[in-house]
């Protein structure tokens, strides 16, 4: 049918990619190499390996990428305080460039002719995977089954799976089509089923990582995060690797009902989509990072970062992680983090994260002698403010005189 003899498939072992594996073998009559990334999604990866073996796959790659994911993708994103459309912490978006990178590397290693993914033709992930792949290998061939086959619903996928004896985990107590889910160390997402009605409340038993705020402990918990050049390096005095620290924050946030989000977002392909997200550790980290920046960043640098942040977030959401503009912005953002060092104390309580203290022994720009409401001993001459105000009001005073 084609000149494609070998394909590297981004494979989770779930419904979509299990069907795709069989479909690729039947449609392209090609050898399929599976790649499963351990990004901290929490699922046991052995079943994916066994499913691939049962499907006749000879080259199976299962890789622990948790540290690389958090250190080289999540933390650089959080240095920018990136939030898409005011709420979404980009948990799915930030995982795609790493997966695309490994797909390209494995295609080269195995002498594959193409890569394949399970993203639908309606979603953002197809764009993210493929923009990343083309940026890293402009000549790569990409197979996107959702844009080729006629299995255009989850019910049809289930029928195909049953027909071909493909085992599928039913992730919903009432059976039928499962939620479309994505998980990694930063978040877990849910789409589909009754969530496609934006007026329908999410089912409580859908959530996997967080307790409801109502069922969270009645006692608050105080934690302390230490930062070095904008990245968290220790929690409650214990130095940790990047992925260990985020995992610990996830556990704390989930325990206290922190990080749930119900969002209608604007997809890059043009449609609106409703999704629910759990990002417990990320929600804590964002609050903490902004707190340490508040005491260590120059005012205009901080405001410049806030101006650039929506653009930076959109680049990640839309799949432009490997683009020259994202790399240029990252260089600027990373430069701003050189003095973002110190600690932040936070209180976790029933879905809320409250900053209760922050300081930097080496880089604090907070000058008590100037900011005090008490006698500052001449550190700040309040009379200077009169001229400052008059000069800044000059253009408005001139305009007001004309109006008279």
- 124 is known to lie in a ligand binding site: yes
Catalytic residue among 79, 96, 193, 326: 96
**In angstroms, how far is CA 386 from the centroid of its own chain?**
47
| Strand arrangement, sheet containing 238-239 | 238-239, 231-235, 221-228, 342-349, 352-359
Catalytic residue among 79, 113, 125, 274: 125
- 220 is known to lie in a ligand binding site: no
- 190 is known to lie in a ligand binding site: no
Can you tell me the distance from the alpha carbon of 124 to that of 302, in angstroms, rounded to the nearest whole number? Answer: 30
Query: Alpha carbon of 208 to those of 12, 41, 187, 232: distances in Å?
Result: 18, 11, 11, 25
- 18 is known to lie in a ligand binding site: yes
Residue 304 contacts residue 159 (beta carbons within 8 Å): no
Catalytic residue among 79, 113, 116, 180: 180
- 111 is known to lie in a ligand binding site: no
- 212 is known to lie in a ligand binding site: no
- 277 is known to lie in a ligand binding site: yes
Write out the H or E segment, with its range, that includes residue 46.
Answer: helix 46-54
Q: What's the chain's Rg over C-alpha atoms?
A: 25
User: Which pairing describes strands 114-116 and 141-143: parallel, antiparallel, or unpaired?
Assistant: parallel
CA angle 316, 326, 235 (to 5 degrees): 65
228 Cβ partners below 8 Å, 6+ apart? Answer: 341
**In angstroms, how far is CA 283 from the centroid of its own chain?**
11
- 87 is known to lie in a ligand binding site: no
Residue 130 contacts residue 144 (beta carbons within 8 Å): yes
- 17 is known to lie in a ligand binding site: yes
Closest CA to 255 of 204, 225, 287, 215: 215
Can you tell me the distance from the alpha carbon of 2 to that of 286, in angstroms, rounded to the nearest whole number? Answer: 48
- 203 is known to lie in a ligand binding site: no
Active site residue 208: no
Catalytic residue among 16, 113, 182, 231: 16
- Using DSSP's 3-state secondary structure scheme, residue 367 falls into coil
- 180 is known to lie in a ligand binding site: yes
Active site residue 376: no
Residue 322 contacts residue 97 (beta carbons within 8 Å): yes
- 275 is known to lie in a ligand binding site: no
- 323 is known to lie in a ligand binding site: no
- 10 is known to lie in a ligand binding site: yes
Active site residue 125: yes
- 397 is known to lie in a ligand binding site: no
* b/e map 19-29, b = 16+ CB within 10 Å: bbbbbbbebbe
- 259 is known to lie in a ligand binding site: no
- 118 is known to lie in a ligand binding site: yes
Residue 215 burial by CB count (10 A; 0-12/13-18/19+): exposed, middle or buried? exposed
Active site residue 364: no
Phi and psi angles of residue 47, each rounded to the nearest 5 degrees, phi first: -60, -35
Binding site for L-citrulline, by residue number, is 88, 93, 124, 128, 180, 189, 265, 277
Q: Which residues are annotated as a binding site for ATP?
A: 10-18, 37, 118
Which residues are known binding-site members for L-aspartate? 120, 124-125
Enzyme catalytic residues:
16, 96, 125, 180
Question: Binding site, residues?
Answer: 10-18, 37, 88, 93, 118, 120, 124-125, 128, 180, 189, 265, 277
């Amino acid at each position: 049918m084609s000149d494609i003899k070998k394909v590297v498939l981004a494979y989770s072992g779930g419904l979509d990619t299990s069907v795709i594996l069989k479909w690729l073998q039947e449609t392209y009559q090609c050898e399929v190499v599976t790649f499963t990334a351990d990004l901290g999604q929490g699922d046991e990866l052995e079943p994916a390996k066994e499913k691939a073996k049962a499907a006749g796959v000879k080259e199976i790659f299962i890789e622990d990428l948790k540290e690389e994911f958090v250190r080289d993708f999540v933390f650089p994103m959080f240095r920018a305080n990136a939030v898409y459309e005011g709420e979404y912490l980009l948990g799915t978006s930030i995982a795609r460039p790493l997966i695309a990178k490994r797909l390209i590397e494995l295609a080269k290693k195995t002498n594959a002719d193409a890569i394949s993914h399970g993203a639908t033709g309606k979603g953002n992930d197809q764009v993210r995977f493929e923009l990343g792949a083309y940026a890293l290998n402009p000549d790569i061939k990409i197979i996107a089954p959702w844009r080729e086959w006629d299995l255009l619903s989850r019910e049809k996928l289930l029928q195909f799976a049953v027909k071909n004896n493909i085992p599928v985990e039913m992730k919903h107590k009432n059976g039928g089509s499962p939620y479309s889910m994505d998980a990694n160390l930063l978040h877990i997402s849910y789409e589909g089923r009754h969530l496609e009605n934006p007026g329908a409340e999410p089912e409580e038993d859908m959530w996997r990582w967080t307790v409801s705020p109502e069922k969270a402990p009645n006692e608050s918990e105080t934690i302390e995060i230490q930062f070095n050049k904008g990245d968290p390096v220790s929690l409650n005095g214990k130095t940790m690797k990047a992925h260990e620290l985020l995992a610990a924050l996830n556990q704390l946030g989930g325990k206290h009902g922190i990080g749930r989000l119900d969002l209608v977002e604007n997809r890059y392909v043009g449609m609106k989509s409703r999704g629910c997200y759990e990002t417990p550790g990320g929600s804590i980290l964002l609050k903490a990072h902004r707190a340490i920046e508040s005491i260590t960043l120059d005012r205009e640098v901080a405001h410049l970062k806030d101006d650039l942040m929506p653009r930076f977030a959109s680049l990640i959401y839309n799949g432009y992680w490997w683009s020259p503009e994202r790399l240029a912005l990252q260089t600027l953002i990373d430069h701003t983090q050189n003095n973002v060092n110190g600690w932040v104390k936070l209180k976790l309580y029933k879905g809320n994260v409250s900053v209760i203290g922050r300081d930097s022994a080496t880089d604090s720009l907070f000058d008590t002698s100037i900011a005090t409401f008490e006698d500052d001993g001449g550190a700040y001459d309040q009379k200077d403010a009169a001229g400052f105000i008059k000069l800044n009001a000059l253009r408005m005073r001139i305009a007001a005189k004309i109006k008279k």
